[in-house]
Amino acid sequence: APPPAQKQDDKAVRRVPFSKGEMELSFAPLVKETAPAVVNVYASSRVHVRSPFMDDPFFERFFGQRMPPRVQSSLGSGVIVDPSGIIVTNYHVIRGADEVKVALSDGREFESKILLKDARVDLAVLKIQGKEPFPVIPLGDSDALEVGDLVLAIGNPFGVGQTTTSGIVSALARTHIGVSDFGFYIQTDAAINPGNSGGALINMKGQLVGINSAIYSQSGGSVGIGFAIPSNMVRAFVASAKSGSGFFETPYIGAEFQDIDAQEANALGLDRPKGALVASLAKDAPAAKAGLKVGDVVLSVDGTPVSDSDALNYRISTQAIGTTVTLEIYRQGAKQTLHVTLERAPAGESATETTISGDSPFAGAKVAALSPRLAERLGMSMNSTGVVVVDVTPNSPADSVGFQPKDIVKEVNGTAIGSAEDLQKAAASKTRWWRFTLQRGGQTIKQVIRY
Share of the chain above pLDDT 70, in %: 85
Judgement on whether residues 296 and 372 belong to the same structural domain of the protein: no
Of 398, 397, 395, which is closest to residue 407 (Cα–Cα)?
398
Active-site annotation holder among 197, 213, 317, 360: 197
Judgement on whether residues 295 and 361 belong to the same structural domain of the protein: no
Last residue of a domain, one of 96, 128, 160: 128
> For residue 49, what pLDDT is reported?
53
Average of pLDDT values for 389-406? 89
Binned at pLDDT 50, 70 and 90, residue 255 comes out as very high
| DSSP H or E segment with residue 441 | none
DSSP conformation class of 413: T
Q: Per-residue pLDDT tens for 181-200?
A: 667 899 999 888 777 889 99
Across 348-386, b (16+ Cβ under 10 Å) vs e yields: eeeeeebbbeeebbbbbbbbbbbbbbbbbbbbbebebeb
Share of the chain above pLDDT 90, in %: 49
Last residue of a domain, one of 190, 219, 242: 242
Last residue of a domain, one of 242, 265, 287: 242
Look at residue 3 and tell me if it is in a domain: no
Catalytic residue status for 197: yes
The whole-model pTM stands at 0.78
Look at residue 387 and tell me if it is in a domain: yes
What residues make up the domain containing 378?
354-450
Catalytic residue status for 213: no
> For residue 245, what pLDDT is reported?
81
Residue 60 contacts residue 54 (beta carbons within 8 Å): yes
CATH number of the domain to which 68 belongs: 2.40.10.10
Lowest mean pLDDT among 12-16, 230-234, 439-443: 12-16
Q: Per-residue pLDDT tens for 107-157?
A: 899 999 999 999 889 999 999 988 889 999 999 999 999 999 999 999 987
CATH number of the domain to which 314 belongs: 2.30.42.10
For the chain, give the mean pLDDT: 85
Look at residue 413 and tell me if it is in a domain: yes
Q: What is the largest CA-CA distance in the chain?
A: 87
**Rounded CA gap, 69 and 169, in Å?**
44
Active-site annotation holder among 82, 122, 296, 407: 122
**Rounded CA gap, 213 and 220, in Å?**
14
Binned at pLDDT 50, 70 and 90, residue 24 comes out as low
Catalytic residue status for 92: yes
Judgement on whether residues 373 and 420 belong to the same structural domain of the protein: yes
Judgement on whether residues 281 and 236 belong to the same structural domain of the protein: no
The runs of H, that is alpha helices, within 98-165 are none
Of 301, 303, 294, 289, which is closest to residue 257 (Cα–Cα)?
294
> For residue 261, what pLDDT is reported?
92
> For residue 286, what pLDDT is reported?
95
Active-site annotation holder among 45, 74, 82, 92: 92
Judgement on whether residues 280 and 358 belong to the same structural domain of the protein: no
| DSSP H or E segment with residue 24 | none
Based on the structure, what is the number of domains in the chain? 4
Judgement on whether residues 369 and 299 belong to the same structural domain of the protein: no
Judgement on whether residues 193 and 117 belong to the same structural domain of the protein: no
Q: Per-residue pLDDT tens for 32-65?
A: 999 999 999 998 877 655 544 444 444 444 444 5
Q: Per-residue pLDDT tens for 209-253?
A: 999 987 665 555 556 788 999 999 999 999 999 988 888 888 999
Q: In terms of pLDDT, which residue wins out, 394 or 240?
A: 240
